[in-house]
Amino acid sequence: MEAFTSYIIKSFKHDGHLHRMWLENWRVPDRLLDASHAEQAMLVFINSQTKIVEADGKEWVSRVPGVSFFIPGEWFNIVALMEEQGVRYYCNIASPPYVNGRVITYIDYDLDVIRMPAGDIHVVDQEEYERHKLLYHYSEVVHVKVKQGLSKLLQRVREGKPPLQDDLVKHYYQLWLDSSVQTEGSDETLSCKKAQDPDDNSSDGA
C-alpha cells in the first residue's frame, strides 16, 4: 500500500503568534482519496495520540483519533473526531491552508462550528471573535472572508456535503491502520532476515 507521509500542522493567530501545533499528522495519499474529495483537491490527514503543543508551551496528547480535511481556497477546515458516541465534526473558521514542504499552516479566526454525532449543530466562540477582531485589528477584507467562510461552512454542514461523511472518515482511518500494520510487519520481517543471515553486509557504509 502507498505510504502515508507525516506532516506538522501549525495554527496561528492574526498577529502571527502560534496558537496550536499538531506534531504528527499522516497525509492520505491522493491516489486513495474518494472522488468527492479528490475533485476538490482536499488535503486529508490522520492523527492518533499525537502530541499537541499550545501557545504557552503546554503539551498534551490527543485522546481520540481524528481525520482533518483542508480545502484549498476555503476559509475553514474540518476535523472529524472519532469518539465512542460517533463522529463529531469540529470545524474551524480559518484562512486557507498554506503548504510548505511537510508543514501545513493557517490562521485561526476564532469561530467554530460543531456537528454532534446526533446531528445537532452549534456555532461557538462568537464572543471571542468579536474580542479578537478589535484586539488584532481584523481588516474589513478579513471580516468579509470570515463571514463568507462561515456561511459556506454552515451550508456544507447542514446538507452533509463532503467531507461530512462518517463512512469515509472511518474508511480513511482504517486505511491508515492497515498501512501502519503493514509497515510494522515489513520492519519485523527485515529484522528477522538480518538476524538469520549473519553474513549479510547490506547495512555496511560505503
Sort strands 103-115 and 5-12 into parallel, antiparallel or unpaired: parallel
Which residue type is seen at 4?
F
- The rounded distance, in Å, linking the Cα atoms of 51 and 46 is 13
Handedness of CA 200, 203, 205, 206 (dihedral sign): positive
In 86-153 the beta strands, taken as DSSP E runs, fall at 86-94, 98-100, 103-115, 121-124
Burial of 18 from C-beta contacts in 10 A (0-12 / 13-18 / 19+): middle
Q: Which residues are catalytic?
A: 20
Q: What does the DSSP 8-state code read for residue 129?
A: H
